[in-house]
């Protein structure tokens, strides 16, 4: 299993004299395929939230995204609270979405291959 795809996230740990002290985290070497299915659920929830545009549903979605990223994608290397406090506000939502989009793309490719196989095999 050489050269497996890994993702990275950078969290601010503290700010000293106007300079931020950050820490980088890599996804685990192996992430179970079941995480892809959960990522699909998350992307569907994002799409639904964007259509509904309610503040309550967006806040709930952000909570779920942070929990998913901290506990599933990064396997508890940091807590949801550390993620919440360590993301730079202007980029936070995009950063969270990028963390699950990798898995969404993998699932989409898997679905396309499955459809192709069914079409070829009749």
Whole-number pLDDT of residue 3: 67
Residue 2 pLDDT more than 90? no
Structure tokens at 15: 């700010």
Q: Which of 11-25, 31-45, 103-117 has the lowest mean pLDDT?
A: 103-117
Whole-number pLDDT of residue 84: 97
- Segment 49-104, tens digit of pLDDT: 777 776 667 888 889 899 999 999 999 999 999 999 999 999 998 999 888 876 66
Q: How far is CA 58 from CA 53, 76, 116, in A?
A: 7, 23, 36
How far is residue 77's CA from residue 75's CA, in Å, rounded to a whole number? 6
DSSP string, 52-66: H--HHHHHHHHHHHH
């Amino acid at each position: 299993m050489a050269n497996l795809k890994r993702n990275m996230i950078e969290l601010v740990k503290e700010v000293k004299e106007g300079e931020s002290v950050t820490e980088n985290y890599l996804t685990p070497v192996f992430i179970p395929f079941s995480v892809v299915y959960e990522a699909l659920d998350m992307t569907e929830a994002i799409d639904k939230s964007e259509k509904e545009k309610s503040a309550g549903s967006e806040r709930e979605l952000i909570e779920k995204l942070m929990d998913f990223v901290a506990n599933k994608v990064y396997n508890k290397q940091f807590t949801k609270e550390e993620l919440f406090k360590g993301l730079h506000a202007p980029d936070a939502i995009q950063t969270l979405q990028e963390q699950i989009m990798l898995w969404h793309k993998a699932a989409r490719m898997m679905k396309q291959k499955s459809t192709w196989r069914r079409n070829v095999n009749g």
